[in-house]
Amino acid sequence: MDYQGSALIGVQGQSPWPSLPVVDLEDNAMDWRGRKVLVTGGAGFLGSNLCHALAGRGARVVALDGFLFGGGANAANLDGADIELVRADIREVDLRPLCEGADVIFNLAAQTSHMGGQRDPLADIAVNAVAQVRLIQAAREAAPDTVVVHASTRQFYGRPLHLPVNEEHPVNPPDANGVSKFAGEQYWMIEHRTMNRPVVSLRLTNCYGPRLRIRDARQAFLGIWIRAVLEGRPFEVWGGEQLRDLTYVDDVTDAFLLAAETPACHGRIFNLGGSPPASLKQLADLVVQLGGPDASYTTREFPADRVRIDIGSYYADDRAFRAATGWAPRVSLEDGIQRSLEWFRPRLAMYL
Ligand SMILES: NC(=O)c1ccc[n+]([C@@H]2O[C@H](COP(=O)([O-])OP(=O)(O)OC[C@H]3O[C@@H](n4cnc5c(N)ncnc54)[C@H](O)[C@@H]3O)[C@@H](O)[C@H]2O)c1
């Protein structure tokens, strides 16, 4: 397939993988009722959305979160669902009682800021790698057979040598956070190989949607764009030509559930992509189109400190995950941005 050609189909385009079968996920869904599930990073952006989905399916959900590093943690993220929140730091807390009896551990706790990792690489690696080993050891004692789905990242591929990027692409971390996230993932995969634990690692691309941190640009450029639009201010686009394949959070949640539910995934690493690749400028145009009459943006050069760790254009080849699970993104970019704006509009004050 001439993917390079279809890369520029833009935000309204078709799926880049049209020939793959689309499976009705509901038909294959596992019965989560009564199952104990531990979600580390559970008060953060992706973790809290996952907690809501699991609670909605009747699981007994424990969200472990230290509310650290100015990340996505927000107590409001867990509002409205029956979720037990344990406020604790995975570097220090006794993790064994939390793991005990868990059917699945969704492991999303991380120091996620790239600039934060550059400023304080010791704290970064303490959470993203050393504390992962703590969790591995605790789970080995308390929950040796429990399935683990680990949140990994496309970041450590670095500046892509080719597009799209599949799982065979060389690893070349552009920053400290890329090194620590790669180390954390690899410790989990070693646990699979040596202890036979069912582990799945999902290398995520840029994700967005409800419960994203929108206060600033720490979590995602789209967060600060959404805030500016809702406050009636122009937002800034840095560069503009870089391609991204954003994943809407509900599609990320589906992927985590499927990864846990599908034995064929266990022991494997998968890229997870999303919508067809679009440039930052195309994304900005779409946000303006959906954001109402006052929405607008300006463009500027990438700040110098970010250029050094920028990965340029990226989009994933995630055919392996699609083939293993039948997953495909169900929310278009247009719908996802619309839904995000609508979700944040009445809740803006809680997220500033
Ligand atoms: N959101 C994305 O676009 C994206 C992209 C690639 C990878 N990921 C990965 O997905 C996972 C979740 O990311 P997110 O976007 O939801 O980020 P997030 O910051 O919203 O969530 C991470 C959570 O981990 C918590 N945490 C950090 N250190 C901790 C510690 N020592 N003890 C306990 N809790 C701690 C934070 O308080 C935060 O709530 C991370 O592992 C991240 O690397 C996310």
pTM (2 d.p.): 0.93
Residues in CB range of 122: below 8 A, 6 or more apart: none
Indicate if ligand 1 lies below 6 Å from the C-beta of 274: no
Indicate if ligand 1 lies below 6 Å from the C-beta of 132: no
Query: Which pLDDT score, from 0 to 100, does residue 20 have?
Result: 39
Indicate if ligand 1 lies below 6 Å from the C-beta of 178: no
Query: Which pLDDT score, from 0 to 100, does residue 21 have?
Result: 40
Indicate if ligand 1 lies below 6 Å from the C-beta of 204: yes
Query: Which pLDDT score, from 0 to 100, does residue 4 have?
Result: 31
Indicate if ligand 1 lies below 6 Å from the C-beta of 91: yes
Q: Please write the tens of the pLDDT for every residue from 209-250.
A: 999 999 988 878 999 999 999 999 999 999 999 999 999 999
Residues in CB range of 87: below 8 A, 6 or more apart: 65, 66, 67
Task: State which H helix or E strand residue 243 sits in.
Answer: strand 243-244
Those residues of the chain that have pLDDT short of 70 are 1-28
Indicate if ligand 1 lies below 6 Å from the C-beta of 265: no
* Residue 223 exposure: Cα atoms within 13 Å on the Cβ side: 20
Q: Please write the tens of the pLDDT for every residue from 72-92.
A: 999 999 999 999 999 999 999
Indicate if ligand 1 lies below 6 Å from the C-beta of 123: no
Ligand 1 atom 1 nearest Cα = 207
What distance in angstroms lies between residue 8's CA and the mean position of ligand 1's atoms?
Answer: 30
Contact call for residues 152 and 185 (beta carbons, < 8 A)? yes
Query: Which pLDDT score, from 0 to 100, does residue 27 have?
Result: 52
Ligand 1 pocket test: which of 112, 248, 269 has the largest number of ligand atoms within 8 Å of its C-beta?
112
Ligand 1 atom 28 nearest Cα = 110
Query: Which pLDDT score, from 0 to 100, does residue 55 have?
Result: 98
